[in-house]
Amino acid sequence: MELLPLGPGFGVEVRGIGLIDGASSDRAYRSIRAALEEHSVLLFREQAVADDVQAAFSRAFGPLELVKIGSVGAGTFYNRLHNIAADGTLVPETHQQTLTARANQLWHTDSSFKATPALASVLSARTIPDYGGETEFASTRLAWSRLPRAMQLRLRDAIVTHAYANSRDQIDPGLMTPAERAALPPVRWRMTWRNPVNNRTALYIASHAYGIEGMGESEARALLAELIADATRPEFTYRHQWRPGDVLMWDNRATMHRGHPWARDQARSMVRTTISAVDADGLAELRPGSPSATEVYREMRDAAHAIDVAEAHAMDCGDALRGRHRH
Ligand SMILES: O=C(O)CCC(=O)C(=O)O
Ligand SMILES: [Fe+2]
C-alpha cells in the first residue's frame, strides 16, 4: 500500500490496495483502517465499484447504518444521492432530491444528528457531471489544534445539540415531513471527539449543530459559525474533483465536508454507505455525562498527586527515622 498526500495536512490517495482487498483481507483492512485513523480522508481511484462491494468494504469498519426515512434508499445500506427521476429525466429545481443536494452543500459531518453517530462514510461516484459537483473536506482535528489553548479549555467539554431539522430548515422549512421530524429528535454530544487510537482531539460540530449548553441560542450559533468558518478557510480544505471510478472514505469524527453545485442539465449520481461509531471509536466519551478526557486526566493527575504526597510523606518519615538514628 502506498499513500500520496492529498490535502493540506490531511487526506491521502491510497494506491496498491482497493475496496475488494479491504472487504476480503484482514491484513488489507488493517492497513486501510490505520490510514483512516491517521489521515481522515482516503481516496481510492479506478475502483470497479458495485453496491455489494461497497457494502462489504464498509462493513469491515463497523456496523452499517440503514438509510433513514425520507431519503432515497430508505431502509437499505445505500444512500442514493442523485438528480435522476425514475423515468431517466432530471428532477426539477424544487424537487426534494435537489433540495437535499443543496443541504449537503452546507458544511456538515454525517449523522451527527442520529442517536448513534457515524464513524465514517464511503462515497462512490457512479455518474459525474462534466464540471462542478466536487466534494470538499476540512480537518476538524487540525482546526482544533489551531485554536488558542484558552479556547480549547473552554470548549473541550462543552455540550452541543444537533438536529437534522437545523440544517434542512436552512434550505427549506418544508423539506422535512412531520414524520421525519418526529423520527429525528435533537441529540447532544460533547464538542470534541478524541480518537482513542492516536489520542488526537477533533472539533465535533457543523451544520446540524445549533445549541451549546449554558449559552444563549444566538451566542451559541455565532460561536459555532465562527468555529466552522475558521475550520473551513479555503487554505485548509481539500476539494475533490471526481473522476469515474473514484471512491472517497472519510472519518466523520475528524472532518467536515460539503458538496458543490453542478450544472442543472447534467446528471450526477453518487452512492454513500455509512458506518456507525461504536464505543471503541471513542463514542462513549462523546456522550454527555461520561467521564471526559479532561476528567480522566484530572483523576489521573489527582491520583499521581496523592502518590507523590504519600511518597513525600514516607520520605519525611524515613528522614526523621534516619535523623533519629544519627543522633
Ligand atoms: O454530494 C456530495 O458531494 C456530498 C454528499 C454528502 O454530503 C455525503 O455523501 O455525505
Ligand atoms: Fe454528507
Task: Encode pLDDT of 1-14 as tens digits.
Answer: 999 999 999 999 99
Please tell me the predicted confidence (pLDDT) of residue 82.
94
What is the β-pairing status of strands 192-194 and 269-276? unpaired
At position 62, the amino acid (one-letter code) is: G
What would the CATH number be for the domain defined by 2-290? 3.60.130.10
Other CB atoms within a 10 A radius of the CB of residue 92 amount to 11
Please tell me the predicted confidence (pLDDT) of residue 324.
42
- Give residue for cell 476540512: 138
Inter-axis angle of helices 164-171 and 96-103, nearest 10: 110
**43, 58, 79, 81, best to mutate for ligand 1 pocket (most atoms within 8 Å of CB):** 81
Judged by its nearest atom, the ligand closest to the C-alpha of residue 128 is 1
Please tell me the predicted confidence (pLDDT) of residue 325.
42
Task: Encode pLDDT of 243-258 as tens digits.
Answer: 999 999 999 999 999 9
Please tell me the predicted confidence (pLDDT) of residue 326.
40
Distance 14 CA to ligand 1 centre (A): 20
All residue ranges of the chain with pLDDT < 70 are 292-327
Q: What is the DSSP letter of 313?
A: H
Q: For ligand 1, atom 4, which residue shows the shortest CA distance?
A: 259
Distance 115 CA to ligand 1 centre (A): 20
Distance 240 CA to ligand 2 centre (A): 14
CA-110 nearest atom, ligand 1: 10
Domain ranges of the chain: 2-290, 299-327
φ/ψ of residue 175, rounded to 5 = -70, -35
Q: Is the pTM of this model over 0.85?
A: yes
CA-108 nearest atom, ligand 1: 7
Side-chain half-sphere exposure of 299, counting CA atoms within 13 A: 5
What's the distance, CA 17 to chain centroid?
23
Distance 135 CA to ligand 1 centre (A): 7
Please tell me the predicted confidence (pLDDT) of residue 243.
97
- Give residue for cell 470538499: 136
Please tell me the predicted confidence (pLDDT) of residue 93.
86
Judged by its nearest atom, the ligand closest to the C-alpha of residue 112 is 2
Ligand 1 is surrounded, with C-beta below 6 A, by 81, 104, 110, 121, 123, 135, 257, 259, 270, 272
Please tell me the predicted confidence (pLDDT) of residue 323.
45
Q: For ligand 1, atom 3, which residue shows the shortest CA distance?
A: 259
What 3-state class would DSSP assign to 211?
strand
CA-133 nearest atom, ligand 1: 3
